[in-house]
Amino acid sequence: MSTIRRKLTRLSVVSDRIGDRDAAPYLLVGPALVTVFLVTIGPMLWSLWLSFNRWKPGSLAHQEPTLNGVDNYEWLFSNDRFIDSVVNFAFYGGVGVFLQVALGTLLALALYNYVESRTLRIGLLTLFIVPMMYAPLVAGRMWQLLFLPGGGVVNGLLGVVGLPTVNWLGTRWLGLTAIMISDTWQWVGLPLLIVYGGRANLSDSLYEAAKVDGASRWMMFRRITLPQLRNLIIVAAILRFMDAYKFFDKLFIMTYGGPGTATELPTFFTYLVGFQEFNVGRAAALTWVLGLGSVLTMLLFWRYMRTVEAS
């Protein structure tokens, strides 16, 4: 009897310990939140204020930030270079993400369905994700070598097949395409992993029932696999699309936005305005327009991530 009572009092201690009126949760979360505030949120709020100022720290005329209303934003939206970089972003983000997600999905399903040997399956999976371990900058340098107009392997192969060779990094759309190919090589593993994991979690009974009904492979793909994996595929696409807002390293090393300003993406343009011209107010306005875009994408991500986590 007394042991039971002892256990019961201990149990009530337990419920106090994991109760809500308790300092521990805040002590545990506090340091992380404060750090994120100091290195991310705080500085970005300051940059929001800067975006309504004219500030060129390098020049004599505008050494101190001076308020200039929405001038920076007006400049931005009437700037052809910015508009061009947004068009490039739409192409790079739209086509690139579609390519990566489509390829990743097909590879994942082919790997799961048609490679029987487990060792081979894991081996291929590993091979497909090793490129993610490259520094993006290093991967860009590597692909620049492959795309060289003269001695590059890509043009070499085109020549062997009898196709005309092209100056890959020398024009706007070819340059963006070349960057997109190198980025696909590096990141196809991410959608692949997500879809592969999702497919492995689908129960076989769905497919067995369909087989009994005489469904073809195509039917099963269209009616079972795709609908079941839909949300996961969307999450993979959004994750890759969010990286398009950050895209910098490969562009920096492969074309430096060139020829001229032809292949600039918004992030790279911001870098040039901020750290080459030191027009900090304008660069801050740019980062906020970019940031708003990525916030909208994030809200989408959250929506789908919840459905995925719930299932």
Partner 1 sequence: METTNSFTPTVARLFLVVYALFAAFPLYWTLNTALKPLELINTFPPTFVPSDPTLEAFAWVVTNSRAVSSIIDSLIIATGTTVLSVVLGSMAGYAFSRYGNAVGGENVSFWLLSTRMFPPIAIVLPMFFIFGWLNLQDTHMGLILLYLTFNLPLSTWLMRDFFDKIPHSFEEAAYVDGYSRLQAFWKVVLPLVRPGLIATTMLSWVFAWNEFIFALIITGNDVEPYTTIIPTLILSNQILWGRIMAMAVIVTLPPTLILIAFRKHIIEGMTLGITEV
Q: What part of residues 16-45 is at the interface with partner 1 (CB under 8 A)?
A: 17-18, 20, 22, 24-26, 28-29, 31-33, 35-36, 39-41, 43-44
Instruction: State both tokens at 108.
Output: 């994942």
- Among positions 179, 232, 234, 237, the unique one binding partner 1 when judged by CB under 8 A: 232
Q: What residues does 67 pair with on adjacent strands?
A: 53
Residues 81-100 that bind partner 1 (CB under 8 A): none
Q: Kindly write out the interface string for residues 151-170 of this chain, putting x where it contacts partner 1 by CB under 8 A and - elsewhere.
A: x-x--x--------------
Taking the complex as a whole, the smallest distance from the CB of residue 223 to partner 1 amounts, in Å, to 16
Residue 19 Cβ vs partner 1, minimum distance, rounded to whole Å: 9
Interface stretch with partner 1, choices 89-97, 167-175, 202-210, 301-309 (CB under 8 A)? 301-309
Q: How many residues bind partner 1 (CB under 8 A)?
A: 108
Nearer to partner 1, 91 or 252 (CB): 252
**304 binds partner 1, rule: CB under 8 A:** no
- Contact between 172 and 258 under an 8 Å Cβ cutoff? The reply is no
- Contact predicate 125/111, CB 8 Å: yes
C-alpha distance from residue 269 to each of 234, 244, 251, 257, 293 (Å): 28, 14, 11, 8, 16
Stretch that binds partner 1, among 67-75, 91-99, 130-138, 205-213 (CB under 8 A): 130-138
d(CA 199, CA 224): 10
Question: d(Cα 5, Cα 110) in Å, to the nearest integer?
Answer: 60
3-class DSSP assignment, residue 292 = helix
CB-CB contact of 44 with 291 (8 Å)? yes
Nearer to partner 1, 20 or 80 (CB): 20
Q: Is 228 in the site for partner 1 (CB under 8 A)?
A: no
In DSSP terms, 53 is beta-bridged to: 67
Q: Which residue of 4, 131, 229, 237 would you call a contact of partner 1, by CB under 8 A?
A: 131
Span near partner 1 by CB under 8 A; candidates 71-79, 82-90, 94-102, 283-291: 283-291
DSSP state of 162: T
Token pair belonging to 2: 């007394």
CA 141 – CA 143 distance, rounded (Å)? 6
Question: Pick from 135, 163, 209, 296: which binds partner 1 (CB under 8 A)?
Answer: 135
Select the residue interacting with partner 1 from 193, 202, 215, 262 (CB under 8 A). 193
* Residue 5 Cβ vs partner 1, minimum distance, rounded to whole Å: 14
Taking the C-alpha atoms of residue 35 and residue 29, their distance in angstroms, rounded to an integer, is 10
Considering only the stretches 78-86, 88-96, 172-180, 302-310, report the one whose residues sit in contact with partner 1 under the rule CB under 8 A.
302-310
Closest Cα partner for 236 from 195, 297, 183?
Answer: 195
Q: In Å, how far are 73, 217, 233, 270 from 265, measured between CA atoms?
A: 18, 41, 25, 9
Candidates 72-80, 87-95, 128-136, 168-176: pick the segment binding partner 1 (CB under 8 A).
Answer: 128-136
Tell me the closest approach of the beta carbon of residue 94 to partner 1, in angstroms. 18
